[in-house]
Structure 1
Amino acid sequence: MSDTSKRELAQKVIDRTVKAPLEDTRELLHRDGELKPGLGKISSVLALSLGVLSLLGVLAFHFPQYLTTPDLRHKYSVDLLRQLLLAALLIAGGISLGNVILGRLRNINIVAFALVVAATAMGGSRVPVGNFPDHTPYIGLDWFILDLLGSTLIFVVIEKLFPLYKGQSLFRKEWQTDLKHFAVNHFIVGLALLVVNFLLHHLFGWLVSSGFQQTVRDIAFVPQLLLCILVADLAQYWTHRAYHEVPFLWRFHAVHHSVKTMDWLAGSRQHMLELIFTRVCVLAPLYILGFSEGVMNAYIIVVGFQAVFNHANVHL
């Protein structure tokens, strides 16, 4: 066999084993519309999604000081996370390998299986986690993974049970744009919180009265939570209204209103400067009043659900 023939054969092998799977996967990620059962699309998307999240999870185990959120890392059960990661690897690997054997969307499942192999080769669920510095710059990769999984499991079910538009598919038009916003806004959570905390302390620190804050903290949990939600909602209302009535602010808020299809992911389309400005305006009165940590944590859960539910495709 001549050198030219060998090169041509090698190129064909590369095209078939590397380029074709990557091109098919890229094409899948640019599509929208309904996933019809029986064609292998649903299982392939599940395997690919779990493969990506598993690889990201392994990276988070390797570099927790840079890829995990400090407020969350102290509350994790590492054993539980390892079990979840192992389950995701087994499910993604089993589905993708089965689809490859059955010849269903083989190229896409080759990519999914390759992600599982890469994650396993990097240590999988057995990556050791030693001591590491706590005060380092970080990207909220863990928050992205957990919130994406949790929101998908909760809100996709709610939207399927109580849809406003019954024919709307999970992968509707422009879902890719909103997923990018979802990812970026989660990845910059460290930077956003740093900026918000800096602005709160320097702009509103002079308003803080420890005696008054202690009076607020002495209020019973439930009425204190209701007061916290009331104050936050008033701040959110006037901030939101300003976005619509002040032309300069509207230029940032218009990004949020460029969504054409409403669902649980639509609320993620938000300019990062709007994200920071809104948090400062809403958290400032809560910071000044000094609500207790337990009340603030409960409020974050309530507003986190509300913010997603407000945009969801539900008829409630």
Structure 2
Amino acid sequence: MNRETRRRLTRELLDNAVKAPIDETHELLQRHGALRPGAGKLSSVVALSLGFLALLAVLAFHFPQYLTTPDLRHQYSIDVLRQLLLVALLVAGGMSLGNLVLGRQRNLNLVAFALVLAATALGGSRVPVGNFPDHTPYIGLDWFILDLLGSTLVFVVIEKLFPLYKGQTLFRAEWQTDLKHFAVNHFIVGLALLSVNFLLHHLFGWLVSSGFQQAVQHIAFVPQLLLCVLVADLAQYWTHRAYHEVPFLWRFHAVHHSVKTMDWLAGSRQHMLELMATRVCVLAPLYILGFSEAVMNGYILIVGFQAVFNHANVHLPWGPLKYLVVTPDFHHWHHASDEEAIDRNYAAHYAFLDHLFGTAVKSPKVFPEKYGVVGDYMPDGFVRQQLFPFRRK
């Protein structure tokens, strides 16, 4: 065997050693369905996910002025985040190395271990964070990482403990599309907040009365919070109803309704323009009324939880509470394509609004039979769904 042949064979071996793990990882990300127990697939997915998120977290430590959200980085503890990052690296590294030793899912775990090595080589949890400018353009990478981890840990557990559809898998069909929606919605948080704040100040600033706002802020915390949620839900109800009843607006809202399997990730599917427009319409009255900062923080926690929880694959015995607040059972009917569910159950927080305005679902059935838009005409894929409203009919 001559030298040129040996070089060629060496190059082919190296290419295959790199290409095979990447190809298998890409193939995994295209699949859906249940993970077969006992084959190391679940631990490999956990290791791969944690390794990827840990690498993103290290990058956020290196470039906090561009990759972290100002409102968040003033709240959380750097030391706690370092500890979480260290735990993620240890878990991902331990799982991937253990699977490699046992010969399970070798290619996937090679990629996971490579991600851990890359994150460690870049400084791991010991990346120094010095002073940096606070008013730079940014991507909400930290918000994406923390929310994805938190939502997965909390809502996946709830879905497994109290499932509405017991046979539904974690990696259901089209989960990849909804994860892209989830990521983009978090990454553009800076642009969204900037746009919303600009529109609020320029469109509604003239309506603000400092005396009236001070009177609102003097209301006790709990009744002020309940009032804040009510005002927001009234604005959301009529905005949401307009999306259904105005054909042009429906083309944007149909993206959200095109999801055919309901779970905690399903609520992330949303057109970016609808996301910003709805926030302006809902936040405008709150901005005008001038609710206190503590109340607004409470409202953000409530809307953040309900936006995910009400789409989740969860069923609980709600009793009379189902007539007062929006639950997953209530909101699932809104996403149903059953005839009696069309253009019903608009509220996001208070279910009694739909009963008050005559838009609550009335059906002898306990649960819907199918979800999605009638006719199933929405294309799959994040980019195609963002372009859908602008296509010719």
Report the TM range for the smaller structure's normalisation: over 0.9
Note the aligned Cα RMSD (angstroms).
0.8
CA distance in 1, matches of 2:91, 2:156: 20
Matched residue, 2:151: 151
Rounded Cα–Cα distance in structure 2 between residues aligned with 1:266 and 1:281: 22
Deviations 1:108-146 (A, max 9, x none): 000000000000000000000000000000000000000
Note the C-alpha offset of 1:16: 3.1
Partners of 2:52 and 2:90 in 1: how far apart?
A: 13
Corresponding residue for residue 119 of structure 2: 119
Highest RCO, 1 vs 2 (Cα 8 Å, sep ≥ 6): 1
Q: Could you tell me which residue of structure 2 aligns to residue 301 of structure 1? A: 301
Which residue number corresponds to residue 223 of structure 2? Answer: 223
Q: What letter is aligned with 1:185?
A: N
Secondary structure of the 2:26 match is helix
Aligned to 1:26: 26
C-alpha separation in 2, matches of 1:41 and 1:286: 47
Deviation at residue 37 of structure 1 after TM alignment: 1.6
1:165 equivalent in structure 2: 165
TM-score between both structures, scaled by the size of structure 1 = 0.99
Q: Distance in 2 between matches of 1:3 and 1:247?
A: 69
Aligned positions of 1:98-137 closer than 5 A: 98-137=98-137
Q: Residue type matched to 2:246 in 1? A: V
1:232-280, CA deviations, whole angstroms, 9 ceiling, x for partnerless residues? 0111111110000111111111110110100000000000000000000
SS of residue in 2 equivalent to 1:173: coil
Deviation, 1:38, is: 0.7
Using the TM superposition, give the Cα deviation of residue 76 of structure 1 relative to its aligned residue in structure 2, in angstroms.
Answer: 1.4
**TM-score, scaled relative to structure 2:** 0.80
Q: Counterparts of 1:196 and 1:135 in 2: how far apart (Å)? A: 17
Distance 2:3 2:67 in 1: 47
Partner of 2:138: 138
Say yes or no: does 1:38 pair with 2:38.
Answer: yes
Matched residue, 2:273:
273
Aligned residues, how many?
Answer: 316
Helix, strand or coil: the match of 2:33?
coil
1:6 is displaced (CA, Å) by 2.0
Q: Please report how far the alpha carbon of residue 5 of structure 1 lies from its aligned counterpart in structure 2 after TM superposition.
A: 1.5
1: CA distance, partners of 2:315 / 2:223: 30
Of 13-22 and 288-297, the range deviating more from structure 2: 13-22
Partner of 2:183: 183
* Whole-Å separation in 2 of the counterparts to 1:266 and 1:309: 10
Q: 4+ residue runs of structure 1 moved beyond 4 angstroms?
A: none
Q: 1:101: Cα distance to partner?
A: 1.2
Residue identity in the other structure for 1:201: H
Q: Distance in 1 between matches of 2:242 and 2:196?
A: 19
Deviation, structure 1 residue 35: 1.1
Aligned equivalents of 2:111, 2:260: Cα separation in 1:
31
Q: Aligned-pair distance for 1:17? A: 1.7
- CA-CA distance at 1:36 after TM superposition: 2.1
1:313 match:
313
Deviations for 1:76-118, whole angstroms, at most 9, x for unmatched residues?
Answer: 1111100000000011001101111111000000000000000
Q: Does 1:238 align with 2:226?
A: no
AA in 1 matched with 2:193: L
Give the percent of matched residue pairs that are identical in Structure 1 and Structure 2. Answer: 83
Q: Distance in 2 between matches of 1:134 and 1:10?
A: 50
Separation in structure 2 between the aligned mates of residue 157 and residue 23 of structure 1, nearest angstrom = 30
Name the structure with the higher helix share: 1
Q: Which residue in the other structure is 2:283 paired with? A: 283
The 2-side partners of 1:141 and 1:175 are apart by 20
SS at match of 2:314: coil
